[in-house]
Amino acid sequence: MSVSTDKSLKNPGGPTDDRGALTGEVAPPISWQAPVAYWVVAALTVLVFALGAPTGSETTFSLATSKDFFQLAPLTVPAGPVTIGLGVLVAALAGYATYAAVRRVKVGVWVPVIVGIAFLLAFLVWSGADKGNAIAVPNMLTQGLVFAVPLAFGAMAGLVCERSGIINIAIEGQLLAGAFLAAVVATLVSNPYAGLLAAPLAGAAVAAVLAWFAITYRVDQIIVGVVLNVLVTGLTSFLFSTVLKENSSTLNSPPRLPVIEIPLLSQIPIVGPMLFRQTILVYILFVTIAVLQVMLFRSRWGLRMRAVGEHPKAADTVGIKVNRTRWRNTILGGAIAGLGGASFTIALGLAFGKEMTAGRGFIALAAMILGRWSPRGALLAALLFGLAEALRGTLSIVGSPIPAQFLSMLPYLATIFAVAGLVGRVRAPAAEGIPYTK
Amino acid sequence: MKLELRGITKIFGSLVANDHIDLVVEEGEIHALLGENGAGKSTLMNVLYGFYDPDDGEILVDDVPRTFTGPGDAMAAGIGMVHQHFMLVPVFTVAENVALGHEPVKGGGILDLKVARARVREISERFGFDIDPDALIEDLPVGAQQRVEIIKALSRDAQVLILDEPTAVLTPQETDELIEIMRELRAAGTSIVFITHKLREVRAVADRITVIRRGKVVGTASPQSSEKELASAMVGRSVSLGVEKAPAKPSDVRLQVRDLAVTNAAGAKALDSVSFDVAGGEILAIAGVQGNGQTELAEAILGMQPRATGSVRLGGTELVGRSIRQVLDAGVGFVPEDRSKDGIIASFSIEENLILDLHDRAPFAKGPMIDRRVVAENAERQIEQFDVRARSAQDLGSQLSGGNQQKLVLAREMSRPLELFIASQPTRGLDVGSIEFVHKRIVAERDAGTAVIIVSTELDEVLDLADRIAVMYRGQIIGVVPAGTSRDVLGLMMAGLPLAAAQTEAAKHPTHPADAGRPAGTPEVLS
């Protein structure tokens, strides 16, 4: 044979025999990001919040609104002990996460969720320590939901499109178009519900342009999406300046969607007002998310749509029309985003204003990714972003020791960390962004 | 069910992919469609399956003309297809994949997965497939995925089953199993169209053989024809099967690989403590089923794997931890497995592709500028030497056929003085003529004293070229055996059996007795 020698040739059983000695060297690398992040949070909680709260200070939370049947008494807690307790809780979770990382065991989603909630509570207690004003929890939650609604609609739009393989960067434009048309139609007809019907049409129209270029002409989907955002911003701003401004009473003073209070349920302490004292738009959102969650993973429609987004050729070979499926879902997604746009104008009874969506479409995309392309996850992510926004408002009333601009940065900072791997590996639909041709 | 194609013609631009092709598949027969890559077999089947509209001709099912506007129509007519690249959604379960497109539903469009699972189980048991309906496709080995594809076709009552290059991804043992399945299906009355360019398999299983060359039917053959006759019909001239080469004259050990390990991004071991030597003037072939660490091994030697540990010494110089540039400068030539993606830059001209790794040095570089004249002369010479068929040296890489792209890569990599030459899948998808040429150049490089590593999943190629064979399984070298080791033993080793066990096992079940110990390169006779 040859001049060289080889262990495994001399000893055919070789590879299995000497495998054990080397196992340690090539074991998967330990993922330290999450435990390190938790330890930083624990340190912050104890060092800044617990030690930073004035000694013997107290924080007051009000837990009911004036309309509530059960008037829960405001809750007053001692700032120091509570923050220390929360810090210890976070430290315990950090310890558990470290142990799990060393053993290469995966921890559940509940760990980051509890860490986040504990950190938030500690922060609130610290911010409100020895301030004259109570922190109004139900108001903050309700406000958070108001902020979350367009994000959640946008995230649903994004995931319906992306699950079928079309990247929808144009959510921003679809929201804006929906907000615009909702305001104008509701004003013209003097009925907010008419605006609610018009908004999805505007979003769907923007989505149809996206689908036309992305599917029929196979233009890069991200470029089309960005261009569409600029186009819709320009178009609505132009119409606003030339037409709406002059005739604001006849074209741009939409009536407000009435708040529908659901009997009994809206009286649930703390969360009742947030969930059940809302406009019809919010209820439509809840239904949309629930239906999508079921249909996406358990229906024929969902199976076909996911097949088209994961492996379009496989779908084609079993007789599913790939591009038709993508067209339909892109337009459906646009309609959902357009409906979300109505939350900027008619849901609040506000007139349309230039660029009033202010980048929410992109935050909606972040919520979709953070929620791992699932309706339930995206809703939670949208709520997180919404709450962070509301927190900023609440704290500026209470008088926070931290500048509001810094606080408004926090949710996005959290998104970057989350997307970087704190919530586990994120897996996008395999065929998204790739035009399909036979 | 009888299937007939009459005068099928399909034209893409100036290329006539199918030129008046006639084909009749009788009920319950295995009809092999034999032809080289690019002969038009897949185009024909895609026409039949409703993917492409034919420009002329008609399809008859049981003597009734039919038109298929999409795969849905073809399936409804009882035609099923198992594609070369599986048409399965990796993140779906077996049941979901089989159901896709004709899903059983309860009210409101909600899937009835119970029915879907039962359907998979029923077919799986009928043919002894042993497939779990709830397994995720991405967790299944390739052979099992292929059986899922067959279940998928059968669950739609396919009476004609088209198998497109089904053995390309299988181990020899899995291939034997597939051939067994094909026979069972035939016995159950299913007709099979078996597309392949592998002569051995055609002779083993086909009832009739139709040979296609350059888009035309050039004749039919019986399975009794010799391999040489079939090859000649396929290529259109007499071909020499196998490679003519003198025995190796190995010099001193040139490459020493010790405990080379690679972890992939997910943290799993892609390469696990691999050690071997290669001498100058010998060819070591790395055999194994696709995805058992061969790609990582070749890339780790070249320095393309960031998470590599261990030692690779080329003539005393340590290569692990060096940059790719330094490795190339140490005298390593590399042919990547995906030539059109990693071997050339498709939008660059032949001239430019030939100096990709030399553009920054003399004689091609003059200071910061490239000397166009020298580059053109170099291209002229290399095109001549390596028989690259192109209109001019200005042609873009993308305009070349696969064979000519590969010649271009070889020309570039062999234009430097080499100590070590590594080629991954050097002839995958090439026509017979190009394969002959590539093999000759590789042997010539060996005879010039270079250490050569060939990574190939084609057992024929391994047997033709190798002076020694290392078999890889799950990131390890399961054994190194001399050239001329029998296919059976190699096949069992590729499935994970160590040499001794593989020999015992092969002796117990001699599938192809005439085959054992046959010298590489001579056509074998099937039992």
Q: Are A256 and A192 in contact, with CB atoms under 8 Å apart?
A: yes
Is residue A76 located within the same domain as residue A167?
no
Q: What angle do CA A400, A404, A407 make, to 5 degrees?
A: 95
pLDDT over 70 at B8, yes or no: yes
SS3 (DSSP) at A62: strand
For residue A284, count CB atoms less than 10 angstroms from its CB and return exposed for 0-12, middle for 13-18, buried for 19 or more: middle
Is residue A316 located within the same domain as residue A216?
yes
Is residue A249 located within the same domain as residue A110?
no
B109 Cα to chain A: minimum distance (Å)? 5
Is residue A333 located within the same domain as residue A230?
yes
Taking only the tens place, the pLDDT of each residue in A18-36 is 333 333 344 556 778 788 8
| CA distances for B503 relative to B176, B476, B491, angstroms | 18, 19, 11
Q: Which residues of A touch B47 (CB under 8 A)?
A: none
> Which residue in this structure is represented by tokens 């192809």?
B512
pLDDT band at A7 (very low <50, low <70, confident <90, very high): very low
pLDDT over 90 at A280, yes or no: yes
Q: List the one residue out of B457, B436, B494, B466 whose CA is nearest residue B165.
A: B457
pLDDT over 60 at B438, yes or no: yes
Is A189 inside any structural domain? yes
Mean of per-residue pLDDT scores for chain A: 86
Taking only the tens place, the pLDDT of each residue in A148-174 is 999 999 999 999 999 999 999 999 999
- Chain B, window 405-444: residues with a beta carbon less than 8 angstroms from a chain A beta carbon: none
Contact B100 A315 (CB under 8 A): yes
Complex ipTM = 0.82
pLDDT band at A117 (very low <50, low <70, confident <90, very high): confident
pLDDT over 50 at A8, yes or no: no
For residue A7, count CB atoms less than 10 angstroms from its CB and return exposed for 0-12, middle for 13-18, buried for 19 or more: middle
- Note the pLDDT of residue A13: 37
| CA distances for A89 relative to A75, A92, B366, angstroms | 21, 5, 67
pLDDT band at A391 (very low <50, low <70, confident <90, very high): confident
Best B43, B48, B100 member to test A by mutation, with max A CBs in 10 Å, is B100
B94 Cα to chain A: minimum distance (Å)? 13
The average pLDDT across B56-76 equals 91
- Six token digits for residue B144: 């099992």
Sheet holding B15-25, edge to edge: B15-25, B3-12, B56-61, B64-66
pLDDT over 70 at B337, yes or no: yes
Identify the CATH number of the domain defined by range B242-331+417-527: 3.40.50.300
Contact A314 B88 (CB under 8 A): yes
Contact B479 A315 (CB under 8 A): no
pLDDT band at B110 (very low <50, low <70, confident <90, very high): very high
Q: A187 is in which domain, residue-wise?
A: 147-383
The average pLDDT across A322-347 equals 97
Per the model's pLDDT, the better-predicted residue between A124 and A256 turns out to be: A256
Is residue A57 located within the same domain as residue A196?
no
Instruction: Kindly state the percentage of chain A with pLDDT values over 90.
Output: 53
Best A22, A297, A298, A300 member to test B by mutation, with max B CBs in 10 Å, is A300
- Chain B, window 278-317: residues with a beta carbon less than 8 angstroms from a chain A beta carbon: 278-279, 282, 309
**DSSP letter assigned to residue A262:** P
CA distance B526 to B204: 7
- Note the pLDDT of residue A27: 52
Q: Which residue of B has its CA nearest to A310?
A: B89
A27 Cα to chain B: minimum distance (Å)? 7
Letter for the amino acid at B123? I
Is B150 at the interface with chain A, CB within 8 A?
Answer: no
Which residue among A25, A28, A318 sits closest to B71, beta carbon to beta carbon?
A: A318
Instruction: Name the CATH superfamily, with its identifier, for domain B3-235.
Output: P-loop containing nucleotide triphosphate hydrolases (3.40.50.300)
Question: Could you tell me the residue ranges of all domains in chain B?
Answer: 3-235, 242-331+417-527, 344-415
Is residue A255 located within the same domain as residue A332?
yes
Which residue among B73, B103, B276 sits closest to A303, beta carbon to beta carbon?
A: B103
pLDDT band at B302 (very low <50, low <70, confident <90, very high): very high
Contact A438 B268 (CB under 8 A): no
Contact A319 B72 (CB under 8 A): yes
Sheet holding B420-424, edge to edge: B332-335, B420-424, B451-455, B283-287, B468-473, B476-482
DSSP element (H, E) containing A388: helix A375-398
For residue A255, count CB atoms less than 10 angstroms from its CB and return exposed for 0-12, middle for 13-18, buried for 19 or more: middle
* Two domains, one topology: B3-235 and B242-331+417-527: yes
B253 Cα to chain A: minimum distance (Å)? 7
Taking only the tens place, the pLDDT of each residue in B163-190 is 998 887 777 778 888 999 999 999 999 9
Task: Calculate the CA dihedral of residues B9, B11, B17, B20 and round it to 10 degrees.
Answer: 20
Is A262 inside any structural domain? yes
Letter for the amino acid at A270? I
Is A424 inside any structural domain? no
Mean of per-residue pLDDT scores for chain B: 88
CA distance A45 to A50: 6
Is residue A99 located within the same domain as residue A163?
no
- Chain B, window 161-190: residues with a beta carbon less than 8 angstroms from a chain A beta carbon: none
A203 Cα to chain B: minimum distance (Å)? 26
Contact B279 A430 (CB under 8 A): no
The average pLDDT across B213-218 equals 90
- Six token digits for residue B433: 């003529």
Best B480, B489, B503 member to test A by mutation, with max A CBs in 10 Å, is B480
The least confident of A270-274, A403-407, B347-351, B380-384 is: A403-407
Taking only the tens place, the pLDDT of each residue in B237-275 is 777 767 788 888 998 999 999 999 998 776 778 899 999
The least confident of A215-219, A338-342, B428-432 is: B428-432
Is A320 at the interface with chain B, CB within 8 A?
Answer: yes
Q: Are A281 and A196 in contact, with CB atoms under 8 Å apart?
A: yes
Q: Which residue of B has its CA nearest to A299?
A: B110
Other Cβ atoms less than 10 A from the Cβ of A303: the count is 27
Is residue A247 located within the same domain as residue A188?
yes
The average pLDDT across B96-102 equals 94
Q: Which residue of B has its CA nearest to A437?
A: B51
Q: List the one residue out of B332, B300, B299, B295 whose CA is nearest residue B317.
A: B332
- Note the pLDDT of residue B207: 94
Contact B152 A430 (CB under 8 A): no
- Six token digits for residue B36: 């080289």
Q: Which residues lie closer than 8 Å to B64 by C-beta, 6 or more apart? A: none
Per the model's pLDDT, the better-predicted residue between A116 and A160 turns out to be: A160
Task: Calculate the CA dihedral of residues A293, A298, A299, A303 and round it to 10 degrees.
Answer: 100
pLDDT over 80 at A403, yes or no: no
The average pLDDT across B399-428 equals 91
DSSP element (H, E) containing B402: helix B402-413
Q: Are B22 and B7 in contact, with CB atoms under 8 Å apart?
A: yes
CA atoms within 13 A on the CB side of B461: 27
Q: Are A157 and A340 in contact, with CB atoms under 8 Å apart?
A: yes
Is A367 inside any structural domain? yes
- Chain A, window 338-397: residues with a beta carbon less than 8 angstroms from a chain B beta carbon: none
Is A408 inside any structural domain? no
- Note the pLDDT of residue A29: 64
Is residue A178 located within the same domain as residue A288?
yes
Q: Which residues lie closer than 8 Å to A395 by C-beta, 6 or more apart? A: A127, A402, A404, A407
Is A79 inside any structural domain? yes
- Note the pLDDT of residue A21: 34
- Note the pLDDT of residue B59: 93
Is A89 inside any structural domain? yes
B494 Cα to chain A: minimum distance (Å)? 14
pLDDT band at B428 (very low <50, low <70, confident <90, very high): confident
- Chain B, window 52-71: residues with a beta carbon less than 8 angstroms from a chain A beta carbon: 52, 70-71
> Which residue in this structure is represented by tokens 């500690």?
A122
pLDDT band at B511 (very low <50, low <70, confident <90, very high): low
Q: Are A319 and B101 in contact, with CB atoms under 8 Å apart?
A: yes
Q: Which residues of B touch A28 (CB under 8 A)?
A: 263, 266-268
Is A413 inside any structural domain? no
pLDDT over 90 at B435, yes or no: no
Q: List the one residue out of A337, A342, A331 whose CA is nearest residue A180.
A: A342
Contact A26 B273 (CB under 8 A): yes
Q: Which residues of B touch A4 (CB under 8 A)?
A: 253, 276-279
- Note the pLDDT of residue A28: 58
pLDDT band at A424 (very low <50, low <70, confident <90, very high): low
Q: Are B270 and B262 in contact, with CB atoms under 8 Å apart?
A: yes
pLDDT over 90 at A408, yes or no: no
A13 Cα to chain B: minimum distance (Å)? 6
CA distance A400 to A380: 26
The average pLDDT across A46-74 equals 82
Pairing of strands B253-263, B308-314: antiparallel
What's the domain count of chain A?
Answer: 2
Is residue A129 located within the same domain as residue A152?
no
Range A409-416 contact pairs with CB under 8 angstroms and sequence separation of 24 or more: A411/A384, A411/A385, A412/A363, A412/A366, A414/A116, A414/A384, A414/A388, A415/A366, A415/A370, A415/A385
Is residue A90 located within the same domain as residue A233?
no
CA distance B482 to A424: 47
CA atoms within 13 A on the CB side of A356: 24
A178 Cα to chain B: minimum distance (Å)? 29
Which one of A333, A364, A383 terminates a domain? A383
Q: Which residues of B touch A313 (CB under 8 A)?
A: 87
Is residue A169 located within the same domain as residue A213?
yes
| DSSP letter for each residue of A182-209 | HHHHHHHHT-HHHHHHHHHHHHHHHHHH
Per the model's pLDDT, the better-predicted residue between A133 and A210 turns out to be: A210
What's the pTM value of the predicted model, to 2 decimals? 0.80
